[in-house]
Amino acid sequence: MISEIFVTLTIQVCADLVSRMIGHSDRPSFITNQRRFNHHGGTEARSPDDNRFAPWTRPPPSRPTRIWRAPGFAAAVDPTMAHGDKVERVLYELVRPARYVTWEYFSRQRLVASGVLAARGRPASRVLDVGCGSGALSIGLSEGAGVDVVSMDILPARIEAVHARRSSRTPAATARMRVLQANAEALPFRGGSFDAVVATEVLEHLDDPRRLFQEASRILRPKGRFLLTTPNREALLYRILHLFPESAVEKLASTWTQESLHPDLLHDHGTRGPRGHPDRHRREGFTVAEVEALGTSVGLRLLVGYTYRIPLPDRMMEALTPRLLSRSMAALGTRPLPFGLQVYAEFARP
């Protein structure tokens, strides 16, 4: 409780200070092409209500809030949800979290799994896990909730990792799981063949993010759900870094982050374009408004959208967070948080 109150107050105070001090970088949004703050000297004219931050706000009453209960901060996972405990147990066995980074990964997978389970409308749901990584979420849903899961990634090494992790479980537990190599921008499935599509930390790696939204809309059944997480490019950390000279930003970012994950902060370094490795980020991230615009452009309706996660680099959190507090801090990080490091969004197909 003390750690939650401290972090919440710290983020809110910092957010208020930064919102008074700065605006945005002078790079245009790739969706709106609107220019923002010029951190090399001066600001452009802005109307008083021109606020493009991406904090979580109370959704309209007509929108279901499956992950949190407005207002304020609430549990990220509904403990009464069917199969929730079993999915959590499987995820724990697979991830074996110990320090902050692994607890954060565990908490993120649990957050997305809870969204999938809450969205299930049929006894035999079929879920596509795009960019499955090592397969923890796919195995958790398949073994823990009896969901038919197709686990896919573009990298052969990831597919091998999923097979290896799957082989550590009993054959019966993952019998409803299929693994294949495929491209997120050209999904090899018939239209209307899935009840849910999930993409955790995938959107920022794509050359054409809208293609994933198009493909998700195409393969979803009516009332199907598309759930995603992606970095929030307007997180508090990034906004603060834009106050500093480029040389200082590069030094700080290279110390506390991975170069391949921050093409905007570190000035691209050849990460954009089709020749870039799939693991490299094509852009810093997205805002809630930008992912909503992408969904709306292909006919998907945003049900839930907010920023979450304590806005500090993993390496810094790992260094600052005592082992005994790692679990609670990571769990706290999955709750709606203004200026948070990540974006969580759920869409529905009409």
Residue position matching structure tokens 């990831």: 158
Q: Are 118 and 98 in contact (CB under 8 A)?
A: no
From CA 103, how far away is CA 91, in angstroms rounded? 11
**pLDDT at residue 22 greater than cutoff 60:** no
pLDDT band, residue 173 (cuts 50/70/90): confident
Give the mean model confidence (pLDDT) for residues 238-256: 69
| In the chain, % of residues over pLDDT 90 | 53
From CA 110, how far away is CA 102, in angstroms rounded? 12
pLDDT at 293: 98
The tokens describing 15, both together, are: 């957010």
5 or 41, higher pLDDT = 5
Q: Containing domain of residue 335, as a range?
A: 2-348
**Beta strand pairing status for 126-130 and 148-153?**
parallel
pLDDT at 119: 77
Tell me how many domains the chain contains: 1
**pLDDT at residue 327 greater than cutoff 80:** yes
The tokens describing 68, both together, are: 């949190």
Phi-psi category of 291—alpha, beta or left, where left has phi over 0 and alpha has psi -120 to 50?
Answer: alpha
**pLDDT at residue 224 greater than cutoff 60:** yes
| In the chain, % of residues over pLDDT 70 | 65
DSSP 222: E
Give the mean model confidence (pLDDT) for residues 207-224: 96
Residue type, 221: R
pLDDT band, residue 121 (cuts 50/70/90): low
Neighbours of 156 (CB within 10 A): 9
Q: Are 212 and 206 in contact (CB under 8 A)?
A: yes
**Beta strand pairing status for 148-153 and 177-181?**
parallel
Residue type, 55: P
pLDDT band, residue 260 (cuts 50/70/90): very low
From CA 312, how far away is CA 340, in angstroms rounded? 9
Neighbours of 33 (CB within 10 A): 7
Per-residue pLDDT of 81-110, as tens digits, reads: 567 789 999 999 999 999 999 999 999 999
What's the full length of the chain, in residues? 350
**pLDDT at residue 244 greater than cutoff 90:** no
pLDDT at 83: 73
Q: What CATH number did the domain enclosing 212 receive?
A: 3.40.50.150
